[in-house]
Amino acid sequence: MFILASTASHASEWDKLRIDGFANLNAAQKLNREELSDNTAINSPEKFDQDVNFIVLSTLGIQLSASLTEKSRLVSQLVGKGDEEHFDIAADWVYYQHEMSPQWSFKFGRMRTPFFLLSEYLDVTYAVPWADMPDEVYDILEPFANYEAADLTYRYELSESTITLQTQYGRLIGDTWDIQETVSFNAQWSDEYWTLRAGIARGSAVILEDNALLSNPAVINANIYEKHHVIENKGYEAMFYSLATHFDDGQWLGIAEWTRLTVEGITVDQDAYYVTLGRRWGNWTPHLTYGDAKSQDDKIRRRNNIARRIDVDLYRWAIGVRWDFESGTALKAQYEEFINQKPSDDERVRTVIVGINAVF
């Protein structure tokens, strides 16, 4: 922030500094008293309670971009996010970007992890149809939404479409895991209506000392944990795969995304996906979403009833509507139902979200 302020104060013209922002002001409520069992993969339903909460899904962000030269700039993004009681403000992005040519660009610093189709809009929900991002896909890596890395991007313009290739190297530090030496590669093709995307990432996951796994009763059972070396302080191979498509012709809207996360040992290996279909009528966009998340390595935890509690078999359906009632501002309403089938059958949580999303 000091560098950006200094750059602005010495600039001969104000147009060297660009200020953008976004706001998500949401009210969320859980409509029933039932709660999901402990589940490390899907957390959003447990953010809500029976009382209307105006903080938990509300976000305010300010982005500053300072042009150093015609080809270089510094970017910083401050984001305030709500939890059950208050807002926390953090610098999500602080990076340097250089355009080496019309095709090649380089970024270095703290930036958004590029693992998802909509990674850049993780907080800017004005850019998506939903009131909240799809939980089954986006929740599992939410602690690693940003990371310190170097990014090299290549864009090639075809006659009526664009190919984008990205590669990154960096480090992700979450609440309980430190994923080191992370290497990722993403390829995307897009034209006027369609976007197709594929990605892969690999890292070495190390358990932090305050990891909840180390105090979990299941960890004490050495029969399963010693076999898979989860309690040793070493790196475990973590792999992430993604496939996605996006269609928008101005009338019909379709989004589909699939992800797979695998980590050595007891940690849940999970497949997840969602499919959204929407249609615009003027300023109104109703939409319908179905999502699913399942653990793929349940046999590893089968010998231990406590460890089996982190198995995942959950699906979600949601119906919502977006109303763009003025430029840069949209009113959204969304009803969704989570159905959890592990460890017990058909636990259900119903939630409703109403809010205003804006960019400025």
Encode pLDDT of 196-252 as tens digits. Answer: 999 999 999 887 765 555 555 444 443 444 444 445 556 789 999 999 999 999 999
pLDDT recorded at residue 249 = 97
Work out the average pLDDT over 271-282. 97
Distance separating alpha carbons of residues 357 and 59, to the nearest angstrom: 9
What does the pLDDT look like over 63-112, one tens digit per residue? 999 999 999 999 999 999 876 666 788 888 999 999 999 999 999 999 99
Look up the CATH number of the domain holding residue 69: 2.40.160.10
Distance separating alpha carbons of residues 1 and 78, to the nearest angstrom: 9
pLDDT recorded at residue 67 = 94
Quote the tokens at residue 308: 């089996």
pLDDT recorded at residue 11 = 45
Task: Kindly report which listed range (81-90, 118-127, 260-269) carries the lowest average pLDDT score.
Answer: 81-90
Burial class of residue 281, CB neighbours in 10 A (0-12, 13-18, 19+): exposed
Quote the tokens at residue 41: 């993969």
pTM for the model? 0.86
More confident residue, 310 or 116: 116
Instruction: Please report, rounded to a whole number, the percentage of residues in the chain having pLDDT higher than 90.
Output: 57
**Within 10 Å of residue 248's Cβ, how many Cβ atoms?**
16
Work out the average pLDDT over 36-61. 69
Range of the domain at 243: 2-359
pLDDT recorded at residue 79 = 93
Q: What is the mean pLDDT of the chain?
A: 84
pLDDT recorded at residue 221 = 45
Closest CA to 73 of 65, 61, 85: 65
Residue 309's φ and ψ, nearest 5 degrees, are -65, -20
Q: Is the pLDDT of residue 41 over 60?
A: no
Q: Is the pLDDT of residue 359 over 60?
A: yes
**Residues with Cβ < 8 Å from 312, sequence gap 6 or more?**
39, 40, 41, 42, 268, 270, 293, 294, 295, 342
For 208, half-sphere exposure in the C-beta direction (CA atoms, 13 angstrom radius) is 12
Domains in the chain, number: 1
Locate tokens 């602690």: which residue?
143
More confident residue, 343 or 219: 343
Quote the tokens at residue 201: 């990432």
CA 217 from centre of chain:
29
More confident residue, 225 or 139: 139
Closest CA to 42 of 339, 318, 257, 263: 339
Quote the tokens at residue 203: 């890292």
pLDDT recorded at residue 5 = 54
